[in-house]
Protein backbone atom coordinates (compact mmCIF):
# COMPACT_ATOMS: atom_id res chain seq x y z
CA UNK A 1 0.00 0.00 0.00
CA UNK A 2 1.16 3.47 -0.71
CA UNK A 3 2.27 5.73 2.10
CA UNK A 4 -0.11 8.42 0.83
CA UNK A 5 -3.08 6.10 1.24
CA UNK A 6 -2.00 5.01 4.72
CA UNK A 7 -1.43 8.60 5.81
CA UNK A 8 -5.04 9.42 4.87
CA UNK A 9 -6.69 6.14 5.86
CA UNK A 10 -5.84 6.25 9.56
CA UNK A 11 -7.23 9.73 10.34
CA UNK A 12 -10.22 9.11 8.07
CA UNK A 13 -10.92 5.85 9.88
CA UNK A 14 -10.60 7.53 13.28
CA UNK A 15 -12.94 10.31 12.14
CA UNK A 16 -15.55 7.82 10.99
CA UNK A 17 -15.47 5.49 13.97
CA UNK A 18 -15.07 8.22 16.59
CA UNK A 19 -17.58 10.43 14.81
CA UNK A 20 -20.25 7.78 15.11
CA UNK A 21 -19.97 7.97 18.89
CA UNK A 22 -19.87 11.76 19.04
CA UNK A 23 -23.00 11.83 16.86
CA UNK A 24 -24.68 9.15 18.99
CA UNK A 25 -23.87 11.05 22.18
CA UNK A 26 -25.56 14.19 20.85
CA UNK A 27 -28.50 12.14 19.61
CA UNK A 28 -28.83 10.50 23.03
CA UNK A 29 -29.02 13.91 24.69
CA UNK A 30 -32.14 14.59 22.63
CA UNK A 31 -33.64 11.18 23.51
CA UNK A 32 -32.66 11.41 27.19
CA UNK A 33 -36.10 10.79 28.79
CA UNK A 34 -36.83 7.79 26.59
CA UNK A 35 -33.40 6.22 27.09
CA UNK A 36 -33.46 6.82 30.85
CA UNK A 37 -36.81 5.03 30.95
CA UNK A 38 -35.43 2.06 29.02
CA UNK A 39 -32.43 1.82 31.33
CA UNK A 40 -34.66 2.02 34.42
CA UNK A 41 -36.99 -0.62 32.96
CA UNK A 42 -34.01 -2.97 32.65
CA UNK A 43 -33.64 -2.74 36.44
CA UNK A 44 -30.60 -0.49 36.74
CA UNK A 45 -30.65 2.06 39.56
CA UNK A 46 -29.87 5.73 38.98
CA UNK A 47 -30.76 5.54 35.28
CA UNK A 48 -30.39 9.29 34.62
CA UNK A 49 -26.94 9.33 36.24
CA UNK A 50 -25.82 6.27 34.27
CA UNK A 51 -27.13 7.77 31.05
CA UNK A 52 -25.30 11.06 31.66
CA UNK A 53 -22.08 9.10 32.25
CA UNK A 54 -22.65 7.06 29.08
CA UNK A 55 -23.25 10.20 27.01
CA UNK A 56 -20.11 11.83 28.43
CA UNK A 57 -18.17 8.67 27.58
CA UNK A 58 -19.52 8.61 24.02
CA UNK A 59 -18.70 12.27 23.43
CA UNK A 60 -15.33 12.27 25.18
CA UNK A 61 -13.93 8.94 24.02
CA UNK A 62 -15.29 9.48 20.50
CA UNK A 63 -13.56 12.88 20.34
CA UNK A 64 -10.31 11.35 21.63
CA UNK A 65 -10.42 8.70 18.90
CA UNK A 66 -11.01 11.39 16.27
CA UNK A 67 -8.09 13.42 17.64
CA UNK A 68 -5.81 10.38 17.86
CA UNK A 69 -5.17 11.02 21.55
CA UNK A 70 -5.14 8.44 24.34
CA UNK A 71 -6.31 5.86 21.83
CA UNK A 72 -5.96 2.78 24.01
CA UNK A 73 -7.97 4.12 26.99
CA UNK A 74 -10.57 5.68 24.67
CA UNK A 75 -10.96 2.47 22.67
CA UNK A 76 -11.19 0.31 25.79
CA UNK A 77 -13.78 2.65 27.32
CA UNK A 78 -15.87 2.44 24.15
CA UNK A 79 -15.57 -1.36 24.17
CA UNK A 80 -16.94 -1.42 27.73
CA UNK A 81 -19.70 0.97 26.66
CA UNK A 82 -20.60 -1.24 23.69
CA UNK A 83 -20.80 -4.33 25.88
CA UNK A 84 -23.20 -2.62 28.28
CA UNK A 85 -25.26 -1.01 25.51
CA UNK A 86 -25.51 -4.30 23.66
CA UNK A 87 -26.89 -6.03 26.75
CA UNK A 88 -29.35 -3.22 27.50
CA UNK A 89 -30.59 -2.31 24.04
CA UNK A 90 -29.98 -5.31 21.79
CA UNK A 91 -31.58 -7.97 23.97
CA UNK A 92 -32.84 -9.98 21.01
CA UNK A 93 -33.75 -12.92 23.26
CA UNK A 94 -36.75 -10.93 24.55
CA UNK A 95 -38.23 -10.33 21.07
CA UNK A 96 -39.71 -12.13 18.08
CA UNK A 97 -39.97 -11.44 14.37
CA UNK A 98 -38.65 -8.20 12.89
CA UNK A 99 -37.86 -6.71 16.32
CA UNK A 100 -35.66 -9.72 17.07
CA UNK A 101 -33.94 -9.43 13.68
CA UNK A 102 -33.27 -5.72 14.23
CA UNK A 103 -31.75 -6.38 17.64
CA UNK A 104 -29.58 -9.20 16.28
CA UNK A 105 -28.37 -6.79 13.59
CA UNK A 106 -27.54 -4.25 16.30
CA UNK A 107 -25.62 -6.92 18.19
CA UNK A 108 -23.66 -7.84 15.05
CA UNK A 109 -22.84 -4.17 14.41
CA UNK A 110 -21.62 -3.73 17.97
CA UNK A 111 -19.45 -6.86 17.71
CA UNK A 112 -17.87 -5.36 14.57
CA UNK A 113 -17.31 -2.07 16.40
CA UNK A 114 -15.63 -3.91 19.28
CA UNK A 115 -13.30 -5.51 16.73
CA UNK A 116 -12.58 -2.08 15.25
CA UNK A 117 -11.77 -0.65 18.66
CA UNK A 118 -9.48 -3.57 19.41
CA UNK A 119 -7.55 -2.58 16.28
CA UNK A 120 -7.53 1.07 17.38
CA UNK A 121 -6.27 0.07 20.85
CA UNK A 122 -3.54 -2.10 19.33
CA UNK A 123 -2.68 0.87 17.08
* Residue-wise pLDDT tens digits, 64-96: 999 999 999 999 999 999 999 998 888 888 999
pLDDT confidence of residue 3: 84
Angle at 114 between CA 109 and CA 12, to 5 degrees: 85
Whether the predicted pLDDT of 1 surpasses 80: no
Which whole number is the average pLDDT over 26-36? 97
Task: Supply the pTM of this predicted model.
Answer: 0.90
pLDDT at 21: 97
Overall number of domains in the chain: 1
**21: CB partners within 8 A, 6+ apart:** 58, 59, 61, 62, 65, 78
Q: Which residue has the higher pLDDT, 90 or 34?
A: 34
Length of the chain: 123
Could you list the residue range(s) of the whole structural domain that residue 109 is in?
3-122
Amino acid sequence: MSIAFLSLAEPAGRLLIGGVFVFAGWRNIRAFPILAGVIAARGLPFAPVLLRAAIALQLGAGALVIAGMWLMPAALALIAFLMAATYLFHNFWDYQGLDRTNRINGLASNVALVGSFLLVAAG
